[in-house]
Amino acid sequence: MKSAWKTLVAAGLPDGAIRPAPRGPVDEAGLRAALEDLTNAGRVLDDRQQELLRAWLRAFKHHWPGRFAAVLGDAGERALGRLGDGTGDANRYLKLRRIAVENLSHLL
């Protein structure tokens, strides 16, 4: 799981300390495989991981729907379905989503 998580962090998932924005090109197949690994039916993500992944996926889908479909496809939709709506801190979620948008804007 660590390597899959690191793949998503390298693609802009807002986890950890502030770091330079990621740069492309994106390994689309690797990104999709990492997401599938993290969100498969047997995998359990903790609340923090779910919150981070939810913010990143929603930002990706909202701002770049065509790229979301092309890069993540059904895996992205399944992941969003598994993560659900979440009931965390709305302000924290908004901050994470803004960071995700900024990070993704340098990659896509």
Q: What is the pLDDT of residues 46-69, one digit of tens each?
A: 999 999 999 999 999 999 999 999
* Residue 1, token pair as written in the block: 């799981």
- pLDDT greater than 90 at residue 22: no
Per the structure block, which two tokens stand in for 80? 């969003």
Residues in the chain: 108
User: Is 8 a residue whose pLDDT tops 60?
Assistant: yes
CA angle 50, 97, 81 (to 5 degrees): 40
- The yes-or-no verdict on residue 87 having pLDDT over 70 is no
Counting runs of H as helices and runs of E as strands, what totals does the chain give?
A: 6, 0
36-42 CB contacts, 8 Å cutoff, 24+ apart: 36/75, 37/1, 37/4, 38/1, 38/4, 38/5, 38/8, 38/79, 39/75, 39/78, 39/79, 39/82, 39/83
